[in-house]
Amino acid sequence: MRLVAAVDGPAGSGKSSVCRKTALDLGMQYIDSGAIYRAITLYFLEKYGDSCSEHDPAGELGGVHILQYFMPDGSVTTMLNGRDVSSDIRDERISRSIGFFSDNRGVREYVNGLLRKWAGENSIIIDGRDIGTVVFPDAAVKVYLDASVDERASRRVKEYKGQGKNVDENSIRNQIIQRDFNDSNREFGALKRADDAVFLDTSSMSFSEVVEKLKQIIDSQVIHKK
């Protein structure tokens, strides 16, 4: 039986790592929708440099071919026009320019089409901002993951430190506030909790507690549907 689990939430809420671990444990596929927006941004940044926002991306998406693989070790490989861009799309330059592309209606329709095609017949977990509201409004499982701004900032700082990068917590905190504002206020596909989504505030939960909770929510749907 095919099951779609839509997991939405703001930047730094831990969606990606929680979803990857849950998908591995349950033998499901995982799709990182944010990585697709990142790969599109990279394509236009490489094509037009800093003037990329002077071009309408919607008419040029024919030149963008994206593939994504959920690897057996729980990582995700994103390919752009035959090249592995998994690490390039995490660059700070992408985060600075992505808003222009993720706000664009044509880009969003393109990404939504890809997500629906990739979902195919597989049981999948997809994370993003508008998965349970726009992309899969009929998803059997909908979860909205959240955490306080302070908690999300401190998680991001830890993540950077783990990669050997030294960052200022205050500036990370401000970036999170700015991204929350942008994500919640875009005209199409804004970040919003679906009425029927299970709300999980993970501020005081450990990583494994969140994974266990998500697994329980998914399992209860599978049993319910049998």
**Site of interaction with ligand DC (CB under 6 A):** 11, 33-34, 37-38, 98, 102, 128-131, 179, 183, 189
Minimum Å gap between C-beta 49 and ligand DC is 20
Q: How near is the Cβ of 71 to ligand DC at its closest, in Å?
A: 17
Question: How far apart are CB 47 and ligand DC at their closest, in Å?
Answer: 19
d(CA 64, CA 66) in angstroms, rounded, equals 6
Smallest distance, ligand DC to C-beta of residue 12, A = 8
Shortest distance, CB of residue 183 to ligand DC, whole angstroms? Answer: 5
Spatial contact of 7 and 225, defined as CB atoms under 8 Å apart:
no
Task: Name beta bridge partners: 80.
Answer: 66, 83
Residue-by-residue DSSP string for 68-108: EEE-TTS-EEEEETTEE-TTGGGSHHHHHHHHHHHT-HHHH
Considering beta carbons, is residue 99 or 222 the nearer one to ligand DC?
99
Handedness of CA 123, 128, 129, 130 (dihedral sign): negative
Indicate the burial class of 171 (C-beta count within 10 angstroms; 0-12, 13-18, 19 or more): exposed
Residue among 11 and 210 whose Cβ is closer to ligand DC: 11
- Nearer to ligand DC by Cβ, of 41 and 216: the residue is 41
Report helix, strand or coil for 186. Answer: coil
Q: Inter-axis angle of helices 92-102 and 33-48, to 10 degrees?
A: 100
Angle, nearest 10°, between helix axes 105-119 and 33-48? Answer: 130
**Least separation, in Å, of the C-beta of 224 and ligand DC?**
26
Torsion sign over Cα 21, 160, 104, 179: positive
Distance CA 206, CA 6 (A): 21
Give whichever of 22 and 102 is closer to ligand DC, judged by the CB atom: 102
